Amino acid sequence: MCLITLIHTEHNEWLEGQCARLPMAAAIGMPLFFSLRIVRERIPKFSPWPIEIVGLFLLAGWFFTQPASPLRLPGINWIQWLLLLAALHCVAAVSAHFSTNEILGFWQFNRRLFVRFCFVTLYTVVLTAGLELALLSADKLFQLKLGNEYADLFFLMVGLFQPTFFLAGVPRDFRSA
């Protein structure tokens, strides 16, 4: 929703900064909370405790240490954000196997996650392309004069549909994964 607001907002530097920082934090939060939840489910001593609260404080700390206007940052800040995002995805890959020595289960779990990610990305691309072609044909047929609606649809599909569809297919039983 923040990215949709960002493309529809003009000349409000504070709102643009917030609408850029929130999606960056959300992109970091997805693998962080995924990892913490998997660790909580896998390690019995963590199961009664909501360790996701630690992630909430970490994410809030990261959010408030970022500059108010990240769109005007130098490239090195974007590279740091991308490296943090990549590191959290690596943590998500190993989070299911912090406490066990199931080498085969580790590879099978990550294979299932990777295949799921590839299928979800393919489905998202095909569905988004189809819906945008439908918007384009309605635009040409009825002269609707659509502008940012194509980007709105893209951000909805990538920000809402893709993560939801991916998380729906994460294996529950780690041994059979």
Structure tokens at 31: 């693998």
Q: Are 19 and 9 in contact (CB under 8 A)?
A: yes
130 and 75 part of one domain: no
Q: pLDDT tier at 77 (50, 70, 90 boundaries)? A: confident
Query: How many domains does the chain fold into?
Result: 2
What's residue 172's pLDDT?
74
Q: CA 91, CA 31: separation in Å to the nearest integer?
A: 8
Q: Are residues 127 and 66 in the same domain?
A: no
The whole-number average pLDDT for the span 58-64 is: 95
Q: For the whole model, what pTM was predicted?
A: 0.85
Both tokens assigned to 89: 């995805």
Q: Are residues 15 and 33 in the same domain?
A: yes
Domain boundary among 64, 99, 134: 99
- Return the half-sphere exposure (C-beta side, CA atoms, 13 A cut-off) of residue 19: 17
Check if the beta carbon of residue 36 is closer than 8 Å to that of residue 54: yes
Range of the structural domain that residue 123 is part of: 102-177
Are residues 116 and 72 part of one domain?
no
Average pLDDT over residues 114-122: 96
